[in-house]
Amino acid sequence: VIPYAKMGYWDASYAVKTTDVLALFRITPQPGVDPVEAAAAVAGESSTATWTVVWTDLLTACDRYRAKAYRVDPVPNTTDQYFAFIAYECDLFEEGSLANLTASIIGNVFGFKAVSALRLEDMRIPHSYLKTFQGPATGVIVERERLNKYGTPLLGATVKPKLGLSGKNYGRVVYEGLKGGLDFLKDDENINSQPFMRWRERFLNCMEGINRAASATGEVKGSYLNITAGTMEQVYERAEYAKAVGSIIVMIDLVMGYTAIQSSAIWARNNDMLLHLHRAGNSTYARQKNHGINFRVICKWMRMSGVDHIHAGTVVGKLEGDPLMI
């Protein structure tokens, strides 16, 4: 077995190209593993390598397709963590596919024996690859236009209790909140179509509350309708219904998965609808500072996918939050 660093996955003299996809990993090597070898192992396992040299390497241009770890720096104020800079040839990734990009970058390396912990801290996506994704169709500017609200922050809230309300009472909460001064309300991440309130009932009562509040205040109001479901067929059905009853915005959850998120974003663009993403599940891999994925990276991936805005967390209240990150 040849060390990864000697197989070509470490190159301290590598000249980064503008077309390279760059990834910054925080690595914690296993005791006795050289940091350079750990970085090379991450580069290898996230590109062309396996655990040993195989003769089929000669059937392709491995020198070109190998990811290159080219820099390793100690993480300040730690004794066992290092920043590893890795460059990937853009051709390693399918155009416009977040599922394929992540299958390489995070697909297998996080369970690799050479490291005891691994965190993807940041990425630089080259313009040539970025252009293959649709990106957000609208964003906050269009949302302000549709709410006719300029010069002040948009003020919103989430319906509580998030589970257990009947459709009628859910709509009542929407009405009272909007009439009281909110610009919008939103569904929470886990309100979909449960026995106590099916999704059609929720949509209809939400829209009734929105329309009543708009009439009472003379202002444009809105509510984010969660269309997350078990299958894409159900997602599309709920999205079409939300549009039919007059909503201008829908929301989905991060736990739907990257392909479902991209598909929902394409639908939203084609149907002139705003799309909000709740980061449900994010903290399972973003909260630990030495292992997982930095939320900054998730935000970049979601903008590539095409969501207009994302649930960003808070610096106050019950949930963990970093002011600098937000």
Q: Determine which one of 6, 160, 162, 168 is catalytic.
A: 160
Whether 160 sits among the annotated catalytic residues: the reply is yes
Contact 14, 87 (CB under 8 A): yes
179 annotated active-site: no
Beta carbons of 147 and 319 less than 8 angstroms apart:
no
Q: Is 93 exposed, middle or buried (0-12, 13-18, 19+ CB in 10 A)?
A: buried
Specify whether the CB–CB gap between 63 and 100 falls below 8 A: no
Grouping H, G, I as helix, E, B as strand and the rest as coil, residue 298 is helix
Tell me which residue of 269, 279, 270, 177 sits closest to 228, measured CA to CA: 279
| CB neighbours of residue 283 within 10 Å | 14
- C-alpha to C-alpha distances, 315 to 42, 181, 319, nearest whole angstrom: 33, 23, 8
Out of 278, 291, 309, 311, the active site residue is 278
| Residues known to be catalytic | 160, 278
